[in-house]
Chains A and B, each alone.
Chain A
Amino acid sequence: MTLGIDVIQVLLLIVIAPLLRGMIGRVKARIQNRRGASVFRPYADLWKLFRKEDLVPLTASFLFRLCPIVLFAATLAAAAFVPVLHASSLLGNTGDFILLVYMLALARFFLVLGAMDGGSSFGGMGASREALVSTLAEAPLLLAMIAIAIVSHSASIASMVHWTAVRDPFQLSPVHAFALVALAMVTIAETGRVPVDNPVTHLELTMIHEAMVLEYSGPSLALIEWANSIKLTLMFTLLIGLFAPWGIAASLSFFGLGIAVATFALKIAILIVALAALESGVAKLRMYLVPQYLGIACAISVLAVVFTVFAR
């Protein structure tokens, strides 16, 4: 029975990912005093891209066409780890956070390789910058989740979510607070949002992710964009699940699931507004200040880990 709900969870994440992106864009536009595009615009973009031709550079090898689909498949597999509506997920019952983080790393590795196969300087530039950001973001990401795993005495994502869900919401332990701040900072870096990377820029000085996908078009580009949105959705869901999972369905009744859907929507809405406000209010960091930003996240996650000893 839970298998059905688990599959629905994954499909939900996949389907609402473009909507999330559209909503962030819309809220940002409203904050910046514009009208903004429709929230369903990313769906229209995906539909348009899937119907177009795939353009492949002459100098590229077969890896160029392989990378988008491997990236997409790995991100899908990662999305199957995260509990959305109730404290279990397709792969997250036995799968732990290390496997999740490394599936995302697999996706990113192939994206970087695909960028370098294009044969232009933009691809190499995006790949080199992405290598910098992802290298430095790996340690705080894993350390923050290790802190939570130590405190909840288990490493599987579903148990970590369940452990937090049965605790008192106001027992704000320092471990969770530090891990939340560190994970939030790393989420922004991993998903390529301001202040680390601007997702709507195409200026050479400021691109990281956009530079990597500059040579892609048509269905390949659609896969990459969709995978990026899925990654953002799954990081948000992970944040919600690890730090504020109250409302998650304990049993599989319709009422419980209904409450879970409503609370999930509410929490995602809060995160969307927060991200849009952050993106509108803060300037993008200079490339060489991003290591400082991630260094602060690392210091906070180290604190989270060390505080697990004091929290006993």
Chain B
Amino acid sequence: MGVVEFAAAKTLASSAVFLFITVLLIASAKRTVSCIVLFAVQCAVITAQIVAMASLRHSGDAVAVAVMVLLVKVLAIPYALLRVSARLKVSPKVSAATTPAQSAFIAAALILLAFAVVQPYARDFALDSEMLAAATAMVLTGGFLMVSRRKALMQVVGLLVLENGIFLLALTTTFGMPLVIEMGIFFDLLIWVLLMGVFIFRIRETFAHVDVSRLRRLRG
């Protein structure tokens, strides 16, 4: 038991760093496929975190959540997104409004902002400030991705990263929501991604492009 607990504690201690690195790399990636793969890696790290927490807390619920995260977010959703991306036959580039270096600096600034913002809460509620900051950074970066990437598929990835951040935030503060709610959220997410896949094809057929910045009919 000592070894397992040791491993679990060390995993929890070091996972925030991996999340920061994936956040930076997703922000500065140049191809859509790289973003999807990095998202899968991020979810794998979160799975490891949940397993570590489960073994420390001896809670079976958490193991079930971990399995669901693995199946839905690490395997199913990235697979669906990769299939959509392959069948769309558009350019593999991300079509960002900022260059990779600029995006990296913006992501770094967002990470610092996240860190600065969570310090008082981490102190007052005795939480792990690194994990909290990682979650906030993921939320902010997801928003940044949605704002600065012009491809419709990247909007999906951005929203998924944002949702990851919120999920991690819930994990850190409340040690997980009840199992039923978690299951509901995951199925929602899966259906939403599948629907978005279909919608993107429709967008492409109607407008002959998937560039979100050119969709300008939303006004009065």
Residues of A that sit less than 8 Å from B by CB: 170-174, 177-178, 181, 289, 291-296, 298-300, 302-303, 306-307, 310
**What residues on B are CB-neighbors of A292 within 8 Å?**
99-101
Indicate if the CB atoms of A299 and B107 lie closer than 8 Å: yes
Indicate if the CB atoms of B101 and A298 lie closer than 8 Å: yes
Asked if B16 lies at the interface with its beta carbon under 8 angstroms from chain A, I say: yes
Residue picked from A292, A293, A302, most chain B C-beta under 10 Å: A292
Quick one: which of A170, A174, A295 contacts B101, CB cutoff 8 A? A295
Quick one: which of A172, A289, A291, A294 contacts B17, CB cutoff 8 A? A172
Per the bound structure, the CA–CA distance linking A295 and B101 in Å amounts to 5
Asked if B21 lies at the interface with its beta carbon under 8 angstroms from chain A, I say: yes
Which of these binds chain A: B83-91, B108-116, B165-173, B199-207?
B108-116
Quick one: which of B13, B16, B20 contacts A171, CB cutoff 8 A? B13
- CB-based closest 10 A-B pairs: A295-B101, A299-B104, A172-B14, A170-B10, A296-B104, A177-B17, A292-B100, A299-B108, A299-B105, A292-B101
CB nearest neighbor in B for A307: B115
Quick one: which of B10, B13, B24, B130 contacts A299, CB cutoff 8 A? B24
Main secondary structure of the interface of B (DSSP, over half): helix
Per the bound structure, the CA–CA distance linking A302 and B108 in Å amounts to 8
Asked if B164 lies at the interface with its beta carbon under 8 angstroms from chain A, I say: no
Per the bound structure, the CA–CA distance linking A117 and B10 in Å amounts to 55
Residues 138-150 of chain B, each 1 if its beta carbon lies under 8 Å from chain A, else 0? 0000000000000
Asked if B42 lies at the interface with its beta carbon under 8 angstroms from chain A, I say: no
Question: What's the least CB distance linking A290 to chain B, in Å?
Answer: 11
CB nearest neighbor in A for B24: A300
Per the bound structure, the CA–CA distance linking A177 and B21 in Å amounts to 8
Tally of A-B Cβ pairs under 8 angstroms: 61
Per the bound structure, the CA–CA distance linking A66 and B13 in Å amounts to 52
Residues of B that sit less than 8 Å from A by CB: 10, 13-14, 16-18, 20-21, 24, 28, 99-102, 104-105, 107-108, 111-112, 115, 130
Per the bound structure, the CA–CA distance linking A306 and B18 in Å amounts to 17
**What residues on A are CB-neighbors of B21 within 8 Å?**
177-178, 181
Per the bound structure, the CA–CA distance linking A296 and B107 in Å amounts to 10
Per the bound structure, the CA–CA distance linking A291 and B28 in Å amounts to 13
**What residues on A are CB-neighbors of B105 within 8 Å?**
295, 298-299, 302
CB nearest neighbor in A for B116: A310
Indicate if the CB atoms of A172 and B108 lie closer than 8 Å: no
**What residues on B are CB-neighbors of A291 within 8 Å?**
101
**What residues on A are CB-neighbors of B13 within 8 Å?**
170-172
CB nearest neighbor in B for A181: B21
Residue picked from A173, A296, A298, A306, most chain B C-beta under 10 Å: A296
What are 9 A-B pairs with beta-carbon distances under 8 A?
A172-B17, A289-B100, A292-B100, A295-B104, A299-B104, A300-B24, A300-B104, A300-B108, A302-B108
Per the bound structure, the CA–CA distance linking A291 and B100 in Å amounts to 10
Question: What's the least CB distance linking B12 to chain A, in Å?
Answer: 10
**What residues on B are CB-neighbors of A298 within 8 Å?**
101, 104-105
Question: What's the least CB distance linking B119 to chain A, in Å?
Answer: 8
Question: What's the least CB distance linking B130 to chain A, in Å?
Answer: 7
Indicate if the CB atoms of A306 and B14 lie closer than 8 Å: no
Residue picked from A174, A181, A299, most chain B C-beta under 10 Å: A299
